[in-house]
Every structure is written in C-alpha cells, then in structure tokens.
C-alpha cells in the first residue's frame, strides 16, 4: 500500500472522498498526513477526526517551506501528494521527487493557470457562454495547470446555468473523477 499526503489550504473536500474510497476498498492507499499552509483550515479538523497526522507549514513558521515539506514527506514515506485546494505553488523539487496530482475545476488547458481556481473558473466559463465544462485531474509540474492530464470528465451546461449551480455540479463530478484518476495512477 502506497502512502499519500493531502495538501489543502481550506476545506480539503477531496480528503472526504479519498478517505471514503480507501475505506470502501476502491483505493489501495494510506493517507499518511495532511499538510496545510493555513492554520485555520477546516481540513486540519478533519485530519484530527480521522486520526491523520497534520502539519501547518508556511513562510511565517519556516524559513525554507519546501525543505520542511520535503523532509516531512520523506519521514512519512510518501510517494503521492494530492492537492485538494492547496493555494501555494509546488516547487520543482517536490514535483520531480514525488507524484504530485491536482484536480482542476475545468477542462484544461482552458481556464487554467495562475489565479484560475474555484469560483473564478466558473465565473469565466459562464461569462464566456461555454456549453460544457468539467474536471481535469493532472500531474503537477513547475507550471500552473500544465502537467500531463490523467483524466478529464465533462458535463454539459444548462441554458440557465449560474456560477453557483455550475460550482455544485463540478464539485459533485470532481469527487468521482478524483477517485477514478487515482485508480489510474495506482495501476
């Protein structure tokens, strides 16, 4: 069984679906730790409830954040990192040394890059009158949203789609897409 670390800045919603898939036998993974850059992140509460070690690592606590993260990942024998709404750029060193996976709430390469996350993505999709959107799970490299695509799942937008309705649809689609993509990575 491989160890995975979950990185999240806020809620870490993907932790819920990954944990459930592990418990249901859908994923042969062990969530060995949670890392957040935000000491108030709700994902830290989830980690505590699930009895998963968690760490807050940010510039105000550590001089060399990347080195600290690198050492902790090695201490916990992690092979995989899943970015569950982690709002910091991953260093090239981490991207090269670990299998880093991200979920993006659009069909990359469209609506990706620096500053394109969460509601901002959905707002741009609605503003541009797109007919479809979806979820992309991809490998992470040194550039925002440019890593190799593992899996994309698509959905059609309704004529009266709003940012809120699209966000809800994408969040739902994202949960199953993440599990499917992790299953692909583990083969």
Same domain for 4 and 75?
A: yes
This prediction has a pTM of: 0.95
Residue 50 lies in a domain: yes
Q: Are residues 15 and 62 in the same domain?
A: yes
Phi, psi of 5 (to 5 degrees): -105, 140
How many Å apart are CA 152 and CA 94, to the nearest integer? 24
Interior/surface letters 151-164, b for 16+ CB within 10 angstroms, e for the rest: bbbeeebeeebebe
pLDDT, residue 86, reads 95
In a domain, 143, yes or no: no
pLDDT for the residue numbered 155: 98
Any domain includes 79? yes
**Structure tokens, 142:** 């040194």
- Does residue 110 share a domain with residue 77? no
* Claim to verify: residue 23 and residue 60 sit in the same structural domain: yes
In a domain, 176, yes or no: yes
Q: Please report which helix (H) or strand (E) contains residue 111, including its range.
A: none
3-class DSSP state of 153? strand
Let me know if residue 96 belongs to a domain. Answer: no
Q: Is residue 142 a part of any domain in this protein? A: no
In whole angstroms, give the CA distance from residue 20 to residue 23. 5
Report H helices in 76-116.
92-97
Other Cβ atoms less than 10 A from the Cβ of 56: the count is 16
Residue 99 lies in a domain: no
Closest among 126, 41, 21 to 86, alpha carbons compared: 41
What the block records as the tokens of 15 is 């932790």
Do 50 and 131 fall into the same domain?
no
Same domain, yes or no, for 63 and 127?
A: no
Q: Give the CA-trace dihedral at 151, 164, 112, 27, to 10 degrees.
A: -30
Q: What is the pLDDT of residue 142?
A: 86
- Domain of residue 119, residue span: 104-137+148-187
pLDDT in tens, the chain (187 residues): 999 999 999 999 999 999 999 999 999 999 999 999 999 999 999 999 999 999 999 999 999 999 999 999 999 999 999 999 999 999 999 999 999 999 999 999 999 999 999 999 999 999 999 999 999 999 999 889 999 999 999 999 999 999 999 999 999 999 999 999 999 999 8
CATH number of domain containing 158:
3.40.50.170
Residue 88: predicted pLDDT: 92
The verdict on residue 110 lying in a domain is yes
Structural domain count of the chain: 2
């Amino acid at each position: 069984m491989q160890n995975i670390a979950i990185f999240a800045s806020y809620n870490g919603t993907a932790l819920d679906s990954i944990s459930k898939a592990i418990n249901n036998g859908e994923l042969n993974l062990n969530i060995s730790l949670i890392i957040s850059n935000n000491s108030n992140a709700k994902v830290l509460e989830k980690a505590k409830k699930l009895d998963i070690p968690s760490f807050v690592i940010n510039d105000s606590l550590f001089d060399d954040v990347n080195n600290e993260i690198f050492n902790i990942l090695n201490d916990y024998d992690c092979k995989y990192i899943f970015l569950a709404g982690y709002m910091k750029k991953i260093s090239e060193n981490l991207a090269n040394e670990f299998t880093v996976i991200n979920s993006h709430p659009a069909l990359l390469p469209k609506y990706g890059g620096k500053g394109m996350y969460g509601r901002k993505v959905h707002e741009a999709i609605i503003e541009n009158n797109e007919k479809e959107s979806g979820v992309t799970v991809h490998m992470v490299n040194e550039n925002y949203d440019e890593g190799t695509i593992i899996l994309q799942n698509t959905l059609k937008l309704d004529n009266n789609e709003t940012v809120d309705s699209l966000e809800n649809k994408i969040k739902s689609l994202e949960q199953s897409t993440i599990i499917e993509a992790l299953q692909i990575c583990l083969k």
